[in-house]
Amino acid sequence: MGATYFFRDTQTLKVIPCILIPQILEDEGCKNKRSINIWSAGCANGSEPYTLAIILKELLDEEIFSRIQIYATDIDPNNKFENIIKNGSYPEDALQKIPEKMFVNNFIKDTNIQGNYLISERLKGHVKYIRHNLLSLKPIIERPFDVILCKNVLLHFTEKQSTDIINMFYYSLSDSGFFITEQTQKLPVSSCEKFEQSIGSARIYKKIVTNSTGVKIN
């Protein structure tokens, strides 16, 4: 199983409800859109998408949170992650960094597995797992995403593979969408014309949209 745990890099994740989603909602094309789609690519056992779901629930108002749909994907070659994410059962030591109030509000003891806790059904309803290979270079849904997270994943690929994957992310995002990667991951040079860094303290990039003459329009 991937080395991952809940509430990892929360500083970056909190930017999503505090800064990115308000910007996304200001876009004319999103005002009447029912869902706000987020892709957590390379989700491993689900710690990142569920951490994000908890943070969004705590920091967004009820109406906006009700529109959130998180798609969690991984290549999952050994079929380890799907049942974990769908059941939402995690050992206590993976949950140690969750603030106590958030833990109490969102978890109950798993009576079937000693030492495990179950994430709430409500949060599970906002996270959908899909097995997916990024190297297929195919998006997982036809609707555009508003935010794509791909952290601690691209470092496992060659520069060309990373470039191809980031290009796929670009075309999978809405015009007001954002791409997030880990702090140590720089964009390939060829991808810099597609994204601009949005937050100076994190690798959070806004999609650049241009017209037919190549002039930036967003």
Closest to 181 measured CA to CA, from 19, 41, 54, 18: 41
Question: Domain-by-domain residue ranges, the chain?
Answer: 11-87+127-207
DSSP the chain: --S--TT-SHHHHTHIIIIIHHHHHHSTTTTT-S-EEEEEES-TTTHHHHHHHHHHHHHS-HHHHTTEEEEEEE--TTS-HHHHHHHTEEEGGGGTTS-HHHHHHHEEE-TTSTTEEEEPHHHHTTEEEEE--GGG---SSSSPEEEEE--SSGGGS-HHHHHHHHHHHHHHEEEEEEEE--TT-PPPGGGTTTEEEEETTTTEEEEP-B-TTS-B--
Q: Express each pLDDT in 15-53 by its tens digit.
A: 999 999 999 998 756 666 779 999 999 999 999 999 999
CATH class, 11-87+127-207 region = alpha beta
d(CA 198, CA 191): 15
Model pLDDT, residue 16: 97
Which tops the pLDDT comparison, 149 or 191?
Answer: 149
41: left (phi over 0), alpha (psi -120 to 50) or beta: beta
**What tokens appear for 38 in the block?**
């987020």
Model pLDDT, residue 200: 80
Highest mean pLDDT among 78-82, 109-113, 194-198: 109-113
Model pLDDT, residue 190: 84
Model pLDDT, residue 1: 40
d(CA 69, CA 56): 11
Round the average pLDDT of the chain to a whole number and report it.
92
Q: Is the dihedral of CA 17, 107, 41, 136 positive or negative?
A: negative
pLDDT average, residue stretch 178-207: 90
pLDDT average, residue stretch 176-193: 89
Q: Express each pLDDT in 90-107 by its tens digit.
A: 999 999 999 999 999 999
Please determine, for residue 2, whether its predicted confidence score (pLDDT) is greater than 50.
no
pLDDT average, residue stretch 160-166: 95
Contact 165, 188 (CB under 8 A): no
Closest to 70 measured CA to CA, from 95, 36, 29, 93: 36
Q: Express each pLDDT in 53-83 by its tens digit.
A: 999 999 999 999 999 999 999 999 888 999 9
d(CA 58, CA 105): 10
pLDDT average, residue stretch 188-203: 88
Share of the chain above pLDDT 70, in %: 94
- 183: confidence class by pLDDT, cuts 50, 70, 90: confident
Beta bridge partners of 128: 71
Model pLDDT, residue 218: 64
